[in-house]
Amino acid sequence: MDTTKIIRLHSCVLIVCSTIGGLGYYLQFNYFQITSCIPATIGCVLLLITMLNFKNKGVQFMLLFLVTLVFGIILTRMSVKFIPQQFQPMRKRVYFPVMALSSIITVIIMARNCITAKENGRKLL
């Protein structure tokens, strides 16, 4: 799969899960929690980076890779923490692992694309 397409798909997963989390919290407590917007913000940043026209595509690729990797590590850590906690709402125990899995898959596909691009002498993006 093309790197730009997988990043856009991952961004959509982050935005949808963030929207579900924020909406679920609002419906449960009649209060909007700003932290539910963090994954959507990261998703929008990733979309923005894919839309910008970098002169050096390698820099763009590494920027996308690092943002996805770091946020994926954070999401994976939070998923491992939230899943066994019975007092956490079900939405947290579902959408955090979904976002973490999306990050892991995206990082793996990006790494594979980078290796094949280097071997074949193609561009990264």
Over residues 23-35, mean pLDDT: 89
In the structure encoding, which two tokens stand for residue 121, read together?
A: 């002498």
Encode pLDDT of 33-84 as tens digits: 899 899 999 999 999 999 999 999 999 999 999 999 999 999 999 999 888 8
- Among residues of the chain, what percentage have pLDDT more than 90? 64
19 domain-assigned: yes
125 domain-assigned: no
Domain of 86 in residue numbering reads as 3-120
- Tell me the residue length of the chain: 125
Encode pLDDT of 83-120 as tens digits: 888 887 777 888 899 999 999 999 999 999 999 988 88
Q: How far apart are CA 87 and CA 51, in angstroms?
A: 40
pTM score of the predicted model? 0.90
**What was the pLDDT predicted at 125?**
72
- For the chain, the domain total comes to 1
41 domain-assigned: yes
Specify the amino acid at residue 12.
C
Q: How far apart are CA 100 and CA 34, in angstroms?
A: 20
